[in-house]
Structure 1
Amino acid sequence: MELRQLESFLAVVEEGQFARAASRLFLSPPAVTGHIRQLEREIGMPILQRSPVMLTPAGERLIPHARAIVGAAKAASDAVRDIRTEGPAPLRVGVMAPGSAELTPAVLRAFRQAQPQTRITIESLGFTDYITPLLEHRVDAAFVRPAPDDERIAAEVLTAEPRVIIAPATSELADAEELRLADVLEVDYVRLPDATPRGFMEYAYFATARDGMRPPLGLDQVRTAQDLLNSVASGQGIGATLYSLGRFYRWPGIRCVPVVDAPWEASVLATRRNDPRPEVQAFRALAVMIARDLGPKLVPAPKPPS
């Protein structure tokens, strides 16, 4: 079992397609397919179903161990790289669009002004991979929602917002001024990949209100905010999100409607717990200060649930 095989396995699971996984890894699709077949031969059973891509029971058991091995290898590589790299390492920030609304650019600007010697890089995060990049040391901090349920990650709440439904503009739901959970529990939702972290699935499907059960799902799999908006606009189902995403994205063919009795949810800044880097600690402290002092001015107040 080789590291590159496990990297291909994780990429296919997180991207939901062999072609996307190959693009992410800068490999050809046949190379990724070969890695998966080699893994399956070594294990002695399939780890992925094809068309659509889904984990088998063996794949479900393998995935946490694969992530741990790949994460450990990445951490070791980063440790050695830090020794040979001249100057301070960059601060790598992940953003699941739209982050924490207006607070995200405000925090980035303030940190650049406070620590101009520290280079910042930005990485886009999707619904399936907003926890893994932190644990694999691909990013140092991440603006995400909801708060990751992982003891290895610390999360600072930056915004608390009401929930909205993104509905096709031609649907009956789009005609409503406001909705309640009972109105949206039995409607088709856009589909999240099986590799999506459970916490995000529960958030996206209002799982608490439906006793943990999944709703009816459309065929399209969505991994990013743009995927979500395109899928809803094409009539593949509805999506649930935060107030700020609907405010940031004025997308043709959709309408955002508040769900007034749904519990509010948070956007957070997530970091590895006990990360010793002063730059990470300073970034986290600055984000909390800006959220506390400037948040009410920067983020328009939503209509509270009635």
Structure 2
Amino acid sequence: MELRQLRSFVAVVEEGSFVRAAQRLFLSPPAVTAHVKALEREVGARLLERSPLELTDSGRRLMTCARTLLEAERSALQVADAPADDEVLRVGVMGHGSAELTPATIATFVRAKPGVTVRLVPLSFQEHISALVERRVDVAFVRPAPVDDRIVSDVMTTESRILVTSRRSELAAAASVSLEEVLDLRYVDIPVDSPREFADFMYFGRERNGDPVRRSEDVTFTPHDVLLSAALARGVGSSVQSFRRFYSWPGVAFVPIRDAPVEQTVLASRASDRRTVVAAFRSIATTLASTVSTVDGRFCGPRA
């Protein structure tokens, strides 16, 4: 799915005519028709009824996302001046970041700002805040939102919570569990210098009323460490709903926690960083975030 195809599709809908859309885009009518047909083949559904010209249900859904993606591209071009050829943007990603929004934002930015080199930096649980403060990254997809005056956060997804546990656990087969059932489980440990807000996220600190966490002997730095410990039934972990779409591990079960407060993933950046390249990336990310389901953080746009 290409932006030029989306431009043709949107133009046809807005102009109400393939011919007028072609004139608006300075293309031939056959080229516009070919773009729309290519989109229909990719999504596997008819997007437009031709006589009379009107959107199908699939077309209406794609139209919303298409306009958002095109607006994201326009925003990036308006916000940022042309950067130097050697400008670099370092993007930190903790785990799977903000679900499908992470690759979608990066891909849209790369298309809009081809002169900027994007470097991806995987982040551990310890680097929830430190990577930004120590200037090792410029922006970072993390969860939850850092609590630090030096950092600003743009909300990407708002998601329900899940328990990460062994398939041998008594809770593994449940359709859902309650907070009361999970608070006293033995959780994977995290490094002592991990930020307090990340510990509260992992262990439901705000809901414990000061009760201590039972911790396993496994100290974990990344989601893969959590999955391994859970598979061995040595400790459990917690995450957001989209986590289960990105990770599959033998012997691990993901169980919804029905009464846990929802949690957010964010794009974090330094409050003092006023560079146009960072502003452009944030603009694209927040525009794309408007297409995310509030239920499970699922991105409705085309593939990155």
**Same fold per superposition (TM over 0.5):** yes
Contact 1:164 1:241 in 2 (8 A): yes
- Distance apart, 1:240 and its partner CA: 0.8
Say what the alpha-carbon RMSD is for the aligned residues.
1.6
> In structure 2, which of residues 266, 269, 290 is the aligned counterpart of residue 268 of structure 1?
266
Give the counterpart letter for 2:168 in structure 1.
T
- Structure 1 counterpart of 2:165: 167
- Distance apart, 1:274 and its partner CA: 3.0
Contact 2:158 2:297 in 1 (8 A): no
Give the counterpart letter for 2:234 in structure 1.
Q
Contact 1:131 1:148 in 2 (8 A): yes
- Structure 2 counterpart of 1:281: 279
Task: Give CA deviations for 1:182-201 in whole Å, capped at 9, x if unaligned.
Answer: 00111111111111110000
- Distance apart, 1:129 and its partner CA: 1.2
Contact 1:205 1:214 in 2 (8 A): no
> In structure 2, which of residues 133, 138, 141 is the aligned counterpart of residue 140 of structure 1?
138
CA distance in 2, matches of 1:215, 1:87: 50
Give the counterpart letter for 1:198 in structure 2.
R
> In structure 1, which of residues 96, 99, 110 is the aligned counterpart of residue 97 of structure 2?
99
Say which SS state the counterpart of residue 245 (structure 2) adopts.
helix
Say which SS state the counterpart of residue 127 (structure 2) adopts.
coil
- Structure 2 counterpart of 1:197: 195
- Structure 1 counterpart of 2:174: 176
CA distance in 2, matches of 1:133, 1:141: 9
- Distance apart, 1:289 and its partner CA: 0.4
- Distance apart, 1:248 and its partner CA: 1.0
CA distance in 2, matches of 1:95, 1:270: 10
- Structure 2 counterpart of 1:187: 185
- Structure 2 counterpart of 1:7: none
Higher CA-based Rg: 2
Contact 1:202 1:212 in 2 (8 A): no
Give the counterpart letter for 1:92 in structure 2.
R
- Structure 1 counterpart of 2:40: none
Number of residue pairs the alignment of both structures matches:
215
Task: Give CA deviations for 1:212-263 in whole Å, capped at 9, x if unaligned.
Answer: 3332110000010111111111111110111111221011111000001000
CA distance in 2, matches of 1:215, 1:130: 20
Give the counterpart letter for 2:216 in structure 1.
G
- Distance apart, 1:299 and its partner CA: 4.6
Contact 2:91 2:137 in 1 (8 A): yes
Change (3 A) 1:215 1:116: same
Choose 115-124 or 236-245, whichever is displaced more: 236-245
Say which SS state the counterpart of residue 295 (structure 1) adopts.
coil
CA distance in 1, matches of 2:268, 2:182: 30
Say which SS state the counterpart of residue 147 (structure 2) adopts.
coil
Query: Is 1:295 aligned to 2:292, yes or no?
Result: yes
> In structure 2, which of residues 117, 124, 127 is the aligned counterpart of residue 126 of structure 1?
124
Percent identity over paired residues: 42
- Distance apart, 1:169 and its partner CA: 0.4
CA distance in 2, matches of 1:123, 1:213: 35
- Distance apart, 1:87 and its partner CA: 4.3
Contact 1:189 1:215 in 2 (8 A): yes
CA distance in 2, matches of 1:217, 1:126: 19
Contact 2:188 2:220 in 1 (8 A): yes
Give the counterpart letter for 2:143 in structure 1.
R
Q: After TM superposition, what 4+ stretches of structure 1 lie above 2 angstroms from structure 2? A: 86-89, 294-301
Give the counterpart letter for 1:234 in structure 2.
L
Give the counterpart letter for 1:164 in structure 2.
I
CA distance in 2, matches of 1:296, 1:206: 23
Higher relative contact order (CA 8 A, sep 6+): 2
- Structure 2 counterpart of 1:40: none
- Distance apart, 1:209 and its partner CA: 1.2
Say which SS state the counterpart of residue 228 (structure 1) adopts.
helix
Structure 2 residue runs of 5 or longer lacking an equivalent are 1-83, 300-304
Give the counterpart letter for 2:92 in structure 1.
G
Contact 1:99 1:143 in 2 (8 A): yes
CA distance in 2, matches of 1:143, 1:300: 15
TM-score, with structure 2 as normaliser: 0.68
- Distance apart, 1:97 and its partner CA: 1.2
> In structure 2, which of residues 231, 241, 244 is the aligned counterpart of residue 243 of structure 1?
241
- Structure 2 counterpart of 1:154: 152
Contact 1:94 1:123 in 2 (8 A): yes
Alignment of 1:26-105 (within 5 A): 87-105=85-103
Give the counterpart letter for 2:91 in structure 1.
V
Change (3 A) 1:89 1:214: farther
CA distance in 1, matches of 2:245, 2:210: 28
Contact 2:161 2:238 in 1 (8 A): yes
